[in-house]
Amino acid sequence: MDQARGRLVLGRFEIPIPRSRAGRIATGSALIGGGILGFLPVLGFWMVPLGLVVLSHDLAFVRRRRRRAAVWWSRRRAARRGPPVQG
């Protein structure tokens, strides 16, 4: 998260989020709630992971889960690529 500009940076994407803690928690919770209703038009299941990322900025237990998932994902990608070719 870029504190100076109040934006969540995910790779090349920048998403503005509230600067107040209560606003971020409300936004993350609303995204997760909307994602649970992802079968409805306009809402989507993509909202759940985005809500978790927003909540991970303020809530330690969500942050730990996000970090574990990131480590798992990077190890999985490395295992699929195989060992580096030397020669």
Tens of pLDDT, residue by residue, the chain (87 residues): 566 677 777 778 787 888 888 988 998 999 899 899 888 887 888 888 888 888 888 888 888 988 898 899 889 988 888 776 665
Distance of CA 73 to the CA centre of its chain: 13
For the chain, the domains span 7-77
The answer, as to whether pTM is greater than 0.85, is no
